[in-house]
């Protein structure tokens, strides 16, 4: 039986965000933070970003520290792009 069928949407988003962070960990810190936030801003729908901000509010959210740091640069849905 496929274990992915039992994961919540939040679990899947944490997994995806952490996969992005894993890719960027090989780069210098500033570039990695920018890379994670740029990727999420470009490729995640507003619903996904909304859910990510909800996940970020939880203390033990399972997110890679690089995702947490990049969150300050991720556009909140409904905000005007800089």
Domain-wise residue ranges, the chain: 8-73
Question: What global pTM score does this model have?
Answer: 0.87
Instruction: Write the burial class of residue 52 (CB in 10 Å: 0-12 exposed, 13-18 middle, 19+ buried).
Output: buried
CA distances (Å), 64 to each of 16, 48, 75, 79, 80, in order? 11, 17, 18, 24, 26
Residue-averaged pLDDT of the chain: 92
Query: How far is Cα 76 from Cα 7, in angstroms, rounded to an integer?
Result: 24
* Residues 3-28: tens digit of each pLDDT: 567 789 999 999 999 999 999 999 99
Structural contact between residues 20 and 36, judged by C-beta atoms closer than 8 angstroms: yes
- Is 1 a residue whose pLDDT tops 50? no
Reply yes or no on whether the pLDDT at 68 is more than 60. Answer: yes
The helix-helix angle for 9-24 and 29-43 (nearest 10°) equals: 140
């Amino acid at each position: 039986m496929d274990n992915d069928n039992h994961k919540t949407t939040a679990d899947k988003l944490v997994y995806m965000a952490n996969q992005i962070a894993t890719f960027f960990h090989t780069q210098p810190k500033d570039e990695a933070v920018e890379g994670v936030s740029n990727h999420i801003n470009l490729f995640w729908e507003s619903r996904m970003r909304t859910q990510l901000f909800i996940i970020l509010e939880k203390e033990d959210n399972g997110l890679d520290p690089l995702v947490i740091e990049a969150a300050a640069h991720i556009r909140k849905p409904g905000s005007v792009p800089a």
